[in-house]
Structure 1
Amino acid sequence: MHEPDAPAAILPPGFLRHPVHFLAFGFGSGAAPKAPGTWGSLAAIPVWYAFAWLPPMAYWLVVLAAFLVGIWLCGKTADDLKVHDHGGIVWDEFVGMWIALGLFPDQIYGVLMAFMLFRFFDVLKPWPINWLDARLPGGLGIMVDDVVAGIMALACLWGIDTWVMPYIV
């Protein structure tokens, strides 16, 4: 088991001027003194709009690249802060949100539902998220729990879209 997350507000002076830390902190959104994961998840949405128009294969390649780069970004930032999963590291929330948004909602309601479901799974960490979070080290451990939360949110959205929406509209 790893140590608890550190408060997001405690950062060394000039910390976010380093490009790796700036990205790991979600362009600074993770430096919010309260609920940095929520702010990071929200900050992921405008970035998502910048590449959501890509064909599905290209979209998922961008998400995969962001995941792989994120392992290094988050691991390096955590090492520099000497905290396993500092609350301000939100690149993992960015990638998790991009996975949750993978059905490419064209209405704000779909984006809001993806956000709410992702935050639900990310905060509650049901199995297997909690199991993975407790066992995977470094940047991989930081990234994987949010990736699984994103997959669970995406699965719920797919279920809603497949089995609920046809009976509502």
Structure 2
Amino acid sequence: MNLRSFFLTVGYSGLSPKAPGTMGTLVSLPIGVAILIFLGPQTLFLAALFITLVAIKQINIYEAQTHSHDDKQIVIDELVGMWFALSIAPGILFSVADLGVWTNGIALQLALSFLFFRLYDIKKPSIIGRIDREAKGGLGVMGDDIIAGFAAGITSAILWQLVLKSGLIN
């Protein structure tokens, strides 16, 4: 194994024989939450953007060498999608202690971001599926997960606002 494999498989989590995409997302979640807590949502967003640019180039190299498009082992796209969702959903600075406070919605939004991201990534509704089917190379591999991440973050944030407005949590 080389550094490219380590990067594209997110620390080899993509080599999991069962559900490599979910494993890649699960590995990405605590790393993203740590970045959110210690560096903030803007840093997480910019890190996801930077990794996207690097990943597109590395995926293009990988695909040229292997002649395989969107290999199941490549889960860097799940990391990026999850990080975009996490940077959008709570959208505020918070601490480790805030994770245990149910009424602030942080833990719920993080969980919803994960669930909605996996749902959108697996089901591939609308433009997510179109990008997955039609886009080629690294942009194709990354594109559907980027859109799924944005959709998951926005859906989570909207759902939290609906919970607040409903008065279920004071």
TM-score normalized by structure 1? 0.83
1:16-165, aligned counterparts within 5 Å? 17-52=1-36, 53-102=38-87, 103-104=89-90, 106=99, 107-165=106-164
8 Å Cα contact 1:96-1:147 kept in structure 2: yes
Secondary structure of 2:71 counterpart = coil
Tell me the percent identity.
33
8 Å Cα contact 1:24-1:77 kept in structure 2: no
Secondary structure of 2:17 counterpart = coil
Higher helix proportion (structure 1 or 2) = 2
Q: How many residues align?
A: 153
8 Å Cα contact 1:130-1:145 kept in structure 2: yes
Structure 1 residue runs of 5 or longer lacking an equivalent are 1-16
Secondary structure of 2:117 counterpart = helix
Q: 1:55 to 1:38 in 2, by over 3 A?
A: closer
8 Å Cα contact 2:48-2:84 kept in structure 1: yes
What do residues 4-54 of structure 1 show as CA deviations (whole Å, max 9, x unaligned)?
xxxxxxxxxxxxx21011110111000001110000010101221332132
What do residues 85-126 of structure 1 show as CA deviations (whole Å, max 9, x unaligned)?
001100000000001111348444332211111000000000
Structure 2 residue runs of 5 or longer lacking an equivalent are 100-105
Which sits farther off after the overlay, 31-40 or 95-104?
Answer: 95-104
**1:69 Cα deviation (Å)?**
1.1
Q: Distance in 1 between matches of 2:7 and 2:127?
A: 27
8 Å Cα contact 1:97-1:115 kept in structure 2: yes
| AA partner of residue 47 (structure 1) | I
**1:141 Cα deviation (Å)?**
0.5
